[in-house]
Structure 1
């Protein structure tokens, strides 16, 4: 099993949306490096930190589990979709998606400011300047360090 961080804008799709739906496809990835990771490395059973970005309260909001490995992102074939790509076809799909299942919300949103202050995460792409990937790997030790921050210092 591996660990991942998937970024989402909560106005579009949040951890609460996933909780309500229980399961969802993770579509719309349009970066080749992120696509390659999703296609080649993300596997059924992997756990995912759901990270809210481009909002007032940026940070880790919950956990999901991958329940279906990469398959063609059919939204790329739909001219009405925001994710339409005329160069992607069912015979030669350019983009993929995975299915995820809600596991739980974190006890609190773990803010980016807290993550950036953690020496254990200094090599994590999320805390480095200029990183825009919507999907990134998380090491075992990074995963544990992040989840150790669920409680406020006064609650530990």
Structure 2
């Protein structure tokens, strides 16, 4: 099993949207970065777990957990000229973009904000892509050690940090 972090803007698609979907499952579509595409297509496996991260908000952070429930497959929004994610160079015969289906697991007991995560950037979260400068990937791998540390943070009261 591998671990991941999935970023999304809650105004576009947040964790509550995922929870409200039929079977609490949704395709993670619209990824238009080749490095993230390669992770979706080549590395993610059914059963992998991920953090759901709300970005581009006043207090960005990890808000919940999700599970990968399909292998990577071509993102149909790339073929749809009415989609904001349309890519005329991507065809069903030669797809350029991929997605996986994800399923809601649970909300965290409390959000774990980016500021809190950054406080551990020189220690337990050293090397964690999210706390590096200029990391704008919408999907990134999470090591098992980082996964366990972040879940342990969930149990801490906010005022302890």
TM-score range, shorter chain: over 0.9
CA–CA distance in structure 1, aligned partners of residues 158 and 13 of structure 2: 29
CA–CA distance in structure 2, aligned partners of residues 154 and 107 of structure 1: 15
Q: CA RMSD in A?
A: 1.1
Matches within 5 A, 1:136-151: 136-151=140-155
Matches within 5 A, 1:95-114: 95-114=97-116
TM-score by length of 1: 0.97
Q: Deviations over 1:15-40 (max 9, x none)?
A: 11111111000000000001011111
**Secondary structure of residue in 1 paired with 2:69:** strand
Corresponding residue of 1:131: 135
What are the ranges of 5 or more consecutive residues in structure 2 without an aligned counterpart?
A: none
Corresponding residue of 2:59: 57
Deviation of residue 57 (structure 1)?
Answer: 2.1
Q: Specify which structure has the higher proportion of strand.
A: 1
**Following TM superposition, where does structure 1 have runs of at least 4 consecutive aligned residues deviating by more than 3 angstroms?**
none
Q: Does the CA-based 8 Å contact 1:116-1:122 persist in structure 2?
A: no
Q: Deviations over 1:23-81 (max 9, x none)?
A: 00000000000101111101100001000000112000000000001000000000000
Number of aligned positions between the proteins: 155
Q: Deviations over 1:71-95 (max 9, x none)?
A: 0000000000000000000000000
What are the ranges of 5 or more consecutive residues in structure 1 without an aligned counterpart?
A: none
Q: Specify which structure has the higher proportion of helix.
A: 2
CA–CA distance in structure 1, aligned partners of residues 81 and 28 of structure 2: 19
Matches within 5 A, 1:4-153: 4-21=4-21, 22-118=24-120, 119-151=123-155, 152-153=157-158
CA–CA distance in structure 1, aligned partners of residues 159 and 58 of structure 2: 24
TM-score by length of 2: 0.94
